[in-house]
């Protein structure tokens, strides 16, 4: 595919299209938008195929990273749309890895879900918007219709509570 072979590109798309679409749909949540994200991911893969380095991971891992980034770009472009904090958990577990690593990631995902659900809704939303969607405190304030200081406080307190949650969890397992 790096050589620009259209037949290789067709084979590549057919081989990975369901995985890429599945990840895109899990992140953006709409079939038409997921189609667009998947198509963009394959276009980016075609464009940057020469940059793929097998030493850094599998082709699927590389492609899913491209798809995840395309989905995040799409979400950032439609910031006025509703969001789902659980999307964060889907993306956190989306990387291709060894079976042991996937098991670790699933455990981490469950821990994160539990920790986020333990926060007040406003703090959980602020943390997810800031850390996953890349919103600034000002953008969160505008979206939530609260003063800038309130948005900053929600982010700070939410992150502090998450840190405390994970420190307590680590102490229990030690």
pLDDT at 89 over 70: no
Structural domains for the chain:
1-78 (1.10.1740.10), 86-174 (1.10.10.10)
Per-position DSSP letters for the chain, written without gaps between them = -TT--HHHHHHHHHHHHHHHHHHHHHHH--HHHHHHHHHHHHHHHHHTGGG--GGG--HHHHHHHHHHHHHHHHHHHTTTS---THHHHHHHT-S---HHHHHHHHHHHHHHHHHHHTS-HHHHHHHHHHHTS---HHHHHHHHT--HHHHHHHHHHHHHHHHHHHHHHHHHH-
pLDDT tens-digit readout, 105-131: 444 556 777 788 888 888 888 888 887
Q: How confident is the model at residue 94 (pLDDT cuts 50, 70, 90)?
A: very low
pTM (2 decimals)? 0.49
């Amino acid at each position: 595919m790096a050589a620009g072979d259209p037949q290789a590109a067709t084979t590549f798309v057919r081989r990975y299209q369901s995985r890429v679409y599945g990840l895109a749909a899990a992140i953006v949540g709409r079939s038409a938008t997921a189609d667009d994200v998947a198509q963009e991911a394959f276009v980016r893969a075609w464009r940057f195929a020469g940059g793929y380095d097998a030493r850094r991971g599998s082709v699927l891992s590389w492609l899913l990273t491209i798809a995840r980034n395309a989905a995040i770009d799409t979400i950032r472009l439609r910031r006025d749309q509703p969001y789902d904090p659980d999307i964060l958990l889907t993306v956190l577990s989306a990387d291709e890895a060894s079976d042991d690593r996937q098991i670790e990631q699933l455990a981490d995902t469950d821990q994160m879900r539990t920790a986020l659900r333990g926060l007040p809704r406003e703090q959980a939303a602020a943390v997810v918007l800031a850390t996953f969607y890349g919103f600034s405190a000002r953008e969160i304030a505008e979206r939530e219709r609260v003063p800038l200081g309130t948005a900053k406080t929600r982010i700070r307190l939410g992150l502090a509570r998450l840190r405390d949650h994970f420190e307590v969890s680590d102490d229990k397992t030690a």
